[in-house]
Amino acid sequence: MTTTANVTALSDRFRETFGAAPDGVWQAPGRVNLIGEHTDYNEGFVLPFAIDRTARVALRVRNDSTVRMLSTFGGHGMVEADLEGLEPGSGDGWSRYPLGVAWALQERGITVPGFDLLLDSDVPLGAGLSSSHAIECAVISALNELTGADFGAEDLVLATQQAENIFVGAPTGIMDQSASLRGAKGHAVFLDCRDQHVELVPFDAEASDLVLLVIDTKVSHSHADGGYASRRASCELGAEILGVKALRDVGVERLEEASGLLDETTLKRVRHVVTENDRVLQTVEVLGAQGPASIGPLLDASHVSMRDDFEISCPELDLAVDTAKANGSIGARMTGGGFGGSAIALTPVGLEQQVRDAVVRSFAEAGFTAPDIFTVTPAAGALRLS
């Protein structure tokens, strides 16, 4: 939650640190993907939403090309860099995210001045909720305004992707920053990853007496991991053999034909993407026609597909999902890139505590690290706070 009090506190701390008031404070949220996993880079559909956990940056432009950055997150000191001669791969740790978006704006012909920046974030790190994009989207929103670049959301999405892909070196798609930049309170972001077409779909779990629980398994995921790259390679191979530009162009009706053309592993990967795309479309339809209480089976089917066909789950995620379901959640799935991170469980308000307790107990019994469990609600996308 962002209150006026903590915006003031951030500005005060900025002034103490850098000796002058910031030009402004911008915030951008993390995201949870309701459904549509590993469909983004297949030019398909996703349905994420911006969450009520955000990164906030107080920022002041300088007269030179120096960047000074500090995070309220413990264990990091002041980071200094120079925007002149900035190149992909420079910087380390979290400083790569602000530097990456500054570089991406430079690549678009924008003169980016040096700046002082103070970061405060309550998006959990590495939990699959895109704490990195929250930082990038907050910073690019600030720089977009302060440089007068005035790019629209679609350009900012692509600039942020370039920052992550080229500057940071993480091969991510456009889902996370689209949710963070284009999200809206009470809505999920139905995004066509081929052309960035967005429709805001009402998703008000609360009105249906439901909560969306996030279960952070604390198992670290890494996009640099070979698992992610090999999944992408399988998808590209599948598209090539099936003679389409991207798997988005393959409908469920072609899966039988595909089974005669693809090797077993490629078929499984393709089947996940093709059916997942279809589940996103179905979810949007069901949300509109019947509301959140009816999407449970689609969430469940998505998890099974990721576990068995795309093979990106892990024992902790499966246990979280199975335990939540056994204790009253109406639908549950891993969310994010996989191999760790978080699961989501759509749960009747009255059963929230039972699900929480059961998951904590099952993790203890299995000898897993205690999970972190919290609720999220669809919140506003990136905005200027002061």
| Sole window of 117-125, 259-267, 326-334, 373-381 interacting with ligand ADP (rule: CB under 6 A) | 117-125
Residue 217 is a binding residue for ligand ADP (CB under 6 A): no
Tell me, residue by residue from 64 to 83, as one string, x for binding to ligand ADP by CB under 6 A and - for no binding.
Answer: -------x-x--x-------
Half-sphere exposure of 15 (CA within 13 A, CB side): 10
- Give the shortest CB-121-to-ligand ADP separation in angstroms: 4
* Beta-ladder partners of 25: 58
- Catalytic residue, chosen from 176, 216, 300, 309, is 176
Residue 335 is a binding residue for ligand ADP (CB under 6 A): no
Annotation marks residue 209 as catalytic: no
Residue 190 is a binding residue for ligand ADP (CB under 6 A): no
- Binding residues among 129-168 for ligand ADP as defined by CB under 6 A: 129-132, 135
Name the site residues for Mg ion (rule: CB under 5 A).
130, 132
Strands 210-216 and 372-376 come out as: antiparallel
Residue nearest to Mg ion (CB): 132
**Of residues 139 and 262, the one with the C-beta less far from ligand ADP:** 139
Q: Which does 283 bind (CB under 5 to 8 A by kind): ligand ADP, Mg ion, none?
A: none
**Of residues 121 and 234, the one with the C-beta less far from ligand ADP:** 121
Cα separation, 188 vs 126, whole angstroms: 22
Q: Which does 128 bind (CB under 5 to 8 A by kind): ligand ADP, Mg ion, none?
A: ligand ADP
Q: Which residues of 204-241 are buried (b: 16+ CB within 10 A; e: fewer)?
A: bbeebebbbbbbbbbbebebeeebbeebbebbebbbee
> 310: Cβ–Cβ under 8 A, 6 or more apart, which residues?
37, 38, 231, 268, 269, 272, 273, 338
- Angle between helix 296-308 and 315-326 (nearest 10): 150
**Of residues 296 and 381, the one with the C-beta less far from ligand ADP:** 381
* Beta-ladder partners of 228: none
Binder to ligand ADP among 14, 26, 45, 94 (CB under 6 A)? Answer: 94
Dihedral angle computed from the Cα positions of residues 40, 44, 49 and 50, in that order, rounded to the nearest 10 degrees: 40
- Give the shortest CB-333-to-ligand ADP separation in angstroms: 17
- First-last CA distance in the chain: 15
Cα separation, 45 vs 313, whole angstroms: 20
Binding site for ligand ADP (CB under 6 A): 71, 73, 76, 93-94, 119, 121, 125-132, 135
Q: Which residues are catalytic, by number?
A: 176
